[in-house]
């Protein structure tokens, strides 16, 4: 072992990289090295493994600037030393030695300070003169801060420490001439001391300490504690504050002395947390993440299943022979009446045409209002059918009277829970479900999804919108399809949603246009997330960035519920979102359609994609478990199927752009649906067989 206390091999490594240091200087330097401290700090910084040997540590320290910025001594702050002494920083940047090497070789003799905390603590006051004679043993015994410093830097004598630092720190030279702690500290020191808790600090860090430290815990905090990340009181955690706020770590020691200094100067005003608290820490990083929303959602689910209270409906005695068909609709709001509601309204119209009385109970709308519905509804036939229909709000269930010849129909599978007790009073004994989607797709994997699926187990008779949805129910044994002998009409009814024949384009009309139109079924609202708005928008932006679309293309989104500003797609293109329109406006808008995109990440096939295809446009839509690419292509050759993924959607849209110039193929392959009116879909024979009206 060398006199430095390091292995001889390690000393040789240091000598190799510090050739200009004299043997005495080199020995002084190595005596101040703490390889355990250096190893731990380099490992934490990810600059070396914890198993690195002594030679490897010194090799890294003397050859790599990122390692040289890590101090090998607990009482030396490399970052602050370089920033406070620009000449040292300049020398290090020019390939010179580290700040630590400079301090041991020259700095302390030049009265430079090794840390910001000592520098701040040494400001202010009126220190007495230097001493040429000092009882060093007594000095070290009286001043633990001096003892810690000399242990870290054994190149100094106690007398040198006193003259260079101790007298500025108001350390006691001897028992005969104690120097009282000076009150005239700097403003920073005064600020720290104003909220320092000496009792807490002594209990936490000074057990078994010397009387001198116990007599002045704040001086220990300034000279030793801050560098060791000690907390100044019980309500502020220094190490946590530094760890939680990276900007504070960066500011130490550039702008602030420590985390506590930052908190008092700025952090408290900025609303920062002074100590660890799980909820507060999570909310600071992820606002809202700790909110116990599922407690409230439990009540929402209770309402979905049971209503606000037990239904106050009554069994109607002496009811007319031809009973009432009760429709349980969530609301009768015409502003959100999309395709599914349209089918429900047409079914109500068909029942009215068959001579059946119809009444509507809104399960989620206390202010249900037929007047606004009639004003907003454009179909004269629907308005006429609804004119004499009884409409009850959510809180008017006491007016529901059920007779044996009544029928109960629910629009949402959730309402089967509440409809089942009512239907038990009828001769059929079960409610009808207008099944137009597998409704659990509207929820994430949660209690809502599980309970929504459970609702299908309530005995009911489903009236299913589309063969594809029926096939999905059968494949997954949903509801009545849990039984193997499930037969149409006997156990369920099936209908196909009406497809609008939009204006069909010809080769001549397509060729005459200089502009091209791209339409997206754009539903940016959360409840319509199954239409994959975000993926489609990302795909368009990516394709526009790759210049797939020329200047002749314009982009329109159809179906939004609010007036949304145009969305930048890049490349000079913008997506203009249109609010819901009338059927006539919808037809006029799409008479020049070249490419349409309508996504449906759910079992129901959707209607919009097929309506787009009737124009002769190329249509991109996604496959699903019950909706294969082959089936979509057989249905219409102008449909380009894709996986519900960003990459494949981009591929399909780019394919549509390339194929859009083949006007002859587009006209030839336009979708030609079997044109059936709602009167044909919900014929008198259909409603009488399904609802057993003559039973």
Least confident of 4-13, 365-374, 568-577: 4-13
553-560 and 516-521: which strand pairing?
Answer: parallel
Mean pLDDT of the chain: 89
- Among 450, 354, 312, 393, smallest CA distance to 683 is for 354
Most confident of 49-53, 139-143, 182-186, 612-616: 612-616
Q: Which long-range contacts (CB under 8 A, 24 or more apart) does 237-241 make?
A: 237/274, 237/275, 237/276, 240/275, 240/276, 241/267, 241/272, 241/273, 241/274, 241/275
- Predicted pLDDT at 19: 80
How far apart CA 436 and CA 340 sit, in angstroms, is 7
Cα-flanking dihedrals φ and ψ of residue 682, to 5°? Answer: -105, 65
How far apart CA 687 and CA 361 sit, in angstroms, is 20
- What is the average per-residue pLDDT within 287-307? 85
252-277, pLDDT tens digit by residue? 877 788 999 999 999 998 999 999 99
- What is the average per-residue pLDDT within 518-522? 95
pLDDT at 3 over 70: no
How far apart CA 303 and CA 397 sit, in angstroms, is 14
pLDDT at 462 over 50: yes
**Distance between alpha carbon 436 and the CA centroid of its chain, in Å?**
31
* Domains of the chain (ranges, CATH numbers): 8-114 (no CATH), 118-234 (no CATH), 303-495 (3.40.50.11090), 507-668 (3.40.50.2000)
- Among 645, 430, 432, 420, smallest CA distance to 532 is for 645
Least confident of 5-9, 82-86, 308-312, 381-385: 5-9
The share of the chain scoring above pLDDT 70, in percent, equals 95
pLDDT at 85 over 60: yes
Least confident of 24-33, 175-184, 328-337: 175-184
156-196, pLDDT tens digit by residue? 999 999 999 888 887 878 755 444 333 334 678 888 998 99
Contacts of 342 (CB under 8 A, 6+ apart): none
Least confident of 212-216, 426-430, 568-572: 212-216
- What is the average per-residue pLDDT within 351-366? 94
Element (H, E) at 391: strand 390-392
- Predicted pLDDT at 182: 36
- Predicted pLDDT at 124: 54
How far apart CA 212 and CA 197 sit, in angstroms, is 17
- Predicted pLDDT at 178: 44
- Predicted pLDDT at 181: 39
How far apart CA 209 and CA 436 sit, in angstroms, is 78
- Among 339, 388, 345, 394, smallest CA distance to 365 is for 394
pLDDT at 1 over 70: no
Fill in the DSSP letter of residue 633: H
- Predicted pLDDT at 332: 92
pLDDT at 51 over 50: yes
Fill in the DSSP letter of residue 163: I
pLDDT at 2 over 50: no
- The structure tokens listed for 547 are 């210049």
476-509, pLDDT tens digit by residue? 999 999 999 999 999 999 999 999 899 999 999 9
User: Angle at which helices 54-63 and 8-17 pack, to 10 degrees?
Assistant: 10
Most confident of 51-60, 77-86, 349-358: 349-358
DSSP 121-146: HTSSS------S---HHHHHHH-HHH
- The structure tokens listed for 242 are 């530094």
The share of the chain scoring above pLDDT 90, in percent, equals 59
Which has more confidence, 433 or 185?
433
- Predicted pLDDT at 219: 85
The model's confidence at residue 127, banded by pLDDT at 50, 70 and 90, is low
- Predicted pLDDT at 130: 78
Fill in the DSSP letter of residue 559: E
């Amino acid at each position: 072992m060398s006199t430095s206390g390091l292995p001889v091999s390690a000393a040789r490594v240091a000598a190799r990289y510090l050739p200009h240091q004299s043997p005495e200087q080199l020995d002084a330097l190595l005596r101040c090295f703490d390889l355990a401290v250096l190893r731990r700090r380099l490992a934490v910084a990810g600059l070396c493994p914890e198993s690195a040997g002594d030679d490897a540590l010194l090799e890294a320290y003397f050859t790599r600037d990122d390692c040289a910025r890590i101090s090998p001594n607990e009482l030396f702050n490399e970052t602050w030393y370089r920033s406070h002494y620009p000449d040292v920083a300049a020398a290090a940047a020019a390939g010179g030695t580290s700040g630590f090497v400079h301090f041991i070789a020259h700095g302390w003799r030049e009265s430079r300070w090794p840390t910001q905390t000592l520098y701040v603590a040494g400001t202010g006051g009126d220190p007495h003169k230097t001493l040429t004679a000092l009882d060093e043993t007594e000095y070290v015994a009286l001043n633990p801060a001096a003892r810690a410093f000399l242990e870290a830097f054994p190149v100094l004598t106690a007398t040198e420490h006193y003259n260079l630092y101790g007298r500025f720190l108001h350390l006691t030279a001897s028992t005969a001439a104690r120097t009282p702690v000076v009150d005239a500290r700097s403003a920073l020191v005064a600020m720290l001391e104003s909220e320092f808790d000496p009792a807490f600090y002594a209990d936490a860090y000074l057990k078994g300490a010397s009387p001198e430290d116990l007599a002045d815990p704040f001086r220990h905090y300034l000279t030793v504690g801050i560098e060791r990340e000690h907390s100044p009181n019980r309500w502020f955690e220094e190490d946590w504050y530094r760890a939680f706020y990276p900007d504070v770590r960066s500011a130490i020691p550039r702008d602030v002395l420590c985390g506590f200094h930052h908190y008092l100067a700025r952090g408290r005003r900025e609303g920062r947390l002074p100590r660890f608290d799980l909820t507060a820490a999570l909310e600071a990083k992820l606002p809202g993440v700790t909110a116990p929303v599922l407690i409230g959602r439990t009540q929402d689910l209770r309402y979905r299943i049971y209503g606000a209270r037990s239904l106050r409906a009554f069994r109607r005695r002496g009811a007319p022979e031809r009973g009432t068909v009760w429709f349980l609709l969530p609301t009768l709001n015409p502003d959100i009446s999309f395709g599914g509601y349209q089918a429900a309204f047409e079914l109500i119209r068909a029942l009215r045409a068959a001579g059946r009385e119809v009444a509507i109970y809104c399960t989620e709308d206390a202010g249900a209002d037929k007047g606004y519905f009639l004003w907003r509804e454009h179909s004269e036939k629907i308005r006429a059918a609804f004119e004499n229909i009884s409409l009850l709000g959510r809180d008017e269930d006491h007016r529901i009277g059920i007779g044996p010849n009544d029928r109960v129909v629910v629009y949402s599978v959730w309402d089967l829970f509440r409809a089942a007790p009512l239907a038990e009073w009828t001769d059929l004994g079960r409610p009808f479900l207008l099944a137009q989607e597998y409704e659990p797709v509207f929820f994430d994997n949660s209690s809502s999804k599980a309970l929504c699926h459970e609702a299908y187990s309530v005995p009911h008779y489903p009236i299913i919108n589309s063969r594809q949805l029926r096939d999905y129910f059968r494949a997954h044994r949903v509801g009545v399809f849990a039984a193997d002998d499930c037969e149409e009409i006997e156990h369920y009814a099936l209908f196909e949603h009406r497809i609008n024949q939009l204006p069909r384009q010809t080769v001549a009309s397509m060729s005459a246009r200089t502009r091209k139109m791209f339409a997206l079924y754009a539903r940016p609202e959360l409840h319509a997330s199954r239409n994959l708005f975000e993926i489609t928008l990302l795909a368009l932006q990516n394709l526009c960035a790759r210049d797939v679309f020329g200047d002749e293309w314009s982009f329109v989104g159809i179906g939004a519920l609010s007036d949304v500003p145009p969305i930048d797609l890049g490349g000079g293109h913008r997506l203009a979102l249109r609010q819901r329109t009338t059927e006539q406006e919808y037809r006029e808008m799409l008479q020049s359609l070249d490419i349409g995109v309508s996504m449906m990440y759910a079992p129901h096939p959707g209607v919009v994609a097929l309506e787009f295809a009737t124009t002769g446009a190329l249509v991109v839509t996604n496959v699903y478990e019950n909706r294969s690419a082959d089936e979509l292509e057989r249905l219409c050759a102008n449909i380009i199927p894709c996986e519900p993924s960003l990459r494949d959607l981009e591929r399909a849209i780019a394919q549509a752009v390339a194929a859009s110039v083949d006007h002859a193929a587009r006209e030839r392959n336009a979708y030609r649906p079997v044109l059936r009116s709602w009167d044909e879909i919900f014929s008198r024979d259909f409603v009488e067989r399904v609802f057993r009206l003559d039973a």
